[in-house]
């Protein structure tokens, strides 16, 4: 990440080491602080000084209002406030601020949208549309099969190491957000394709190169997030199923709950630090059940339909 202001580079290091934030979260927070610097330098009805000097609650509030005038929605503003609070902690720790005035900023009420999920039939249709007669087709089938079977984030799939795949035990060791590791089982279909990819196809692509990652591109290098997104877009066109890569993770969680898995187990499998994050899938599951009810009993209404 390119840091225009030296202090932001120090703040980034603070986030990923002392605060234990994931790299992507740290980058998002640093982007907010870059906006804060730019706002302070704009000089348009802005209090003089640098963010490195103690800022008042009123001044920070003006910045948040400015962000809204720039088109930031409630969700973005909420992330901005999290960044400001964290930045305030950093400035207090480093002795630049005497108190973290950002800690009293209140986040806007962000209504959680239910994540979109696919049916099992849609997942199968998407996976079955992959042309596995080609080497990279086998890779794609293995990749998306594993993302669905284990509820992986894209970054987790791209960063999966060969040494962390245990084929005989049907287990993988996943490096999640904040460098937290978790063990996740995978199903028989994922095991079948993993074995084919690792033992029959991948060696022919990698050759003599020592590449630690499970998934590689046509050059034998580690597969990038951008590469996964691009391939998934092609997969949407081929299958006719509209979704995002992350939809497979949402579908994994919802299908587990629909199958009777308890919430705490799903939380562990997804790598959520807070169970309230996982609870949203119970609402999705209820939506799915209501859809089934409407399909099979069209003459009846649930209480939720009357609301």
Cβ 305 vs Cβ 290: under 8 Å: yes
Phi, psi of 10 (to 5 degrees): -65, -40
Q: Which of 153, 202, 250, 255 is catalytic?
A: 153
Question: What distance in Å separates the CA atoms of residue 36 and residue 272, rounded to the nearest whole number?
Answer: 30
Q: Which of 40, 85, 249, 255 is catalytic?
A: 249
Phi, psi of 130 (to 5 degrees): -75, 130
Q: Is 249 a catalytic residue?
A: yes
Long-range contacts, 281-290 (Cβ 8 Å, 24+) = 281/115, 281/250, 281/253, 281/254, 281/257, 282/257, 283/114, 284/114, 284/115, 284/117, 284/250, 284/254, 285/254, 285/257, 285/258, 287/114, 288/117, 288/254, 288/258, 289/258
Q: Which of 246, 290, 293, 294 is catalytic?
A: 246
Q: Which of 177, 195, 196, 294 is catalytic?
A: 177
Residues 206-243 as b/e (b if ≥16 CB within 10 A, e otherwise) read eeeeebebbbbeeeeebbeeebbeebbeebeeebebeb
Cβ 257 vs Cβ 281: under 8 Å: yes
Q: Is 281 a catalytic residue?
A: yes
Question: What distance in Å separates the CA atoms of residue 162 and residue 8, rounded to the nearest whole number?
Answer: 35
Q: Is 202 a catalytic residue?
A: no
Q: How many CB atoms lie within 10 A of CB 77?
A: 19
Cβ 230 vs Cβ 264: under 8 Å: no
Q: Which of 272, 290, 293, 294 is catalytic?
A: 272
Backbone angle region of 161, left / alpha / beta, with phi > 0 → left and psi within -120 to 50 → alpha: beta
Q: Is 153 a catalytic residue?
A: yes
Active-site residue set: 153, 177, 246, 249, 272, 281
């Amino acid at each position: 990440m390119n840091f225009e202001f030296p202090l932001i580079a120090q703040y980034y290091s603070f986030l990923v080491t002392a605060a234990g934030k994931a790299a992507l979260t740290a980058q998002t927070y640093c982007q907010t602080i870059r906006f804060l610097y730019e706002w302070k330098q704009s000089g348009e009805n802005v209090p003089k000084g640098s963010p490195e000097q103690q800022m008042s609650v009123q001044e920070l509030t003006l910045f948040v209002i400015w962000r809204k005038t720039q088109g930031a929605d409630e969700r973005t503003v909420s992330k901005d406030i999290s960044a400001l609070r964290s930045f305030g902690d950093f400035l207090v720790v480093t002795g630049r601020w005497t108190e973290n005035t950002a800690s009293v900023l209140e986040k806007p009420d962000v209504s959680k949208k239910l994540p979109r999920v696919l049916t099992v039939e849609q997942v199968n249709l998407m996976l079955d549309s992959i042309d596995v007669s080609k080497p990279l087709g086998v890779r794609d089938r293995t990749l998306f099969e594993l993302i669905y079977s284990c509820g992986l984030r894209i970054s987790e799939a791209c960063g999966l190491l060969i040494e962390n795949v245990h084929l005989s035990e049907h287990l993988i060791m996943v490096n999640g957000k904040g460098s937290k590791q978790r063990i996740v089982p995978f199903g028989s279909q994922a095991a079948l394709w993993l074995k084919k990819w690792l033992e029959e196809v991948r060696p022919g692509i990698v050759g003599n190169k020592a590449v630690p990652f499970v998934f590689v591109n046509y050059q034998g290098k580690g597969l990038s997030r951008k590469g996964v997104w691009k391939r998934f877009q092609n997969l949407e066109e081929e299958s006719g199923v509209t979704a995002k890569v992350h939809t497979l993770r949402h579908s994994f969680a919802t299908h587990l709950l629909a199958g009777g898995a308890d919430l705490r187990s799903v939380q562990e499998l997804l790598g959520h630090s807070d169970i309230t994050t996982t609870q949203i899938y119970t609402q999705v599951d209820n939506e799915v059940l209501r859809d089934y009810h409407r399909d099979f009993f069209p003459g009846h209404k649930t209480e939720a339909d009357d609301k």
